[in-house]
């Protein structure tokens, strides 16, 4: 009987960790998407001061969320995103708007891909 309770406890812990991980990922993705939208709007307006502020803010957001994501997401995907995020402030500082716009879109796609690959769906299970 003890084994049954231990197995159920472990199962509940796995489900709990999975739920918390999915909640964190969804919250982080939504927050970062909002900041990336602001960056895209600032690129359209070519507002250099706002872009410098937003890219620095996004970099801080990314590093904060990444410190939790390393526990439940493949490191290759996180490393790709970290490299892309590291380029944003330099593009903003040197006012490389086309490169900044392309990198922003790339980051949005990477975040969307990570989120979709972590969702518990039939496509991801099989």
Higher pLDDT, 61 or 122: 61
Percent with pLDDT over 90 in the chain = 91
pLDDT in tens, 44-95: 999 999 999 999 999 999 999 999 999 999 899 999 999 999 999 999 999 9
* Predicted model pTM: 0.89
1: pLDDT confidence band, cut at 50, 70 and 90? confident
122: pLDDT confidence band, cut at 50, 70 and 90? confident
**In sequence order, which residues have a C-beta less than 8 Å from that of residue 75 and are 6 or more positions away?**
none
């Amino acid at each position: 009987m003890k084994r049954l309770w231990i197995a159920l406890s472990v199962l509940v812990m796995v489900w709990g960790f999975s739920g918390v991980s999915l909640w964190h990922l969804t919250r982080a993705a939504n927050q970062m998407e909002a900041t990336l939208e602001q960056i895209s709007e600032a690129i359209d307006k070519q507002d250099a001061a706002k872009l410098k502020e937003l890219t620095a803010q996004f970099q801080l957001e990314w590093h904060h969320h990444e410190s939790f994501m390393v526990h439940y997401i493949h490191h290759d995907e996180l490393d790709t995103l970290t490299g892309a995020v590291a380029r944003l402030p330099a593009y903003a500082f040197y006012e490389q708007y086309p490169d900044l716009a392309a990198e922003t879109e790339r980051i949005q796609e990477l975040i969307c891909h990570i989120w979709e690959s972590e969702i518990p769906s039939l496509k991801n299970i099989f």
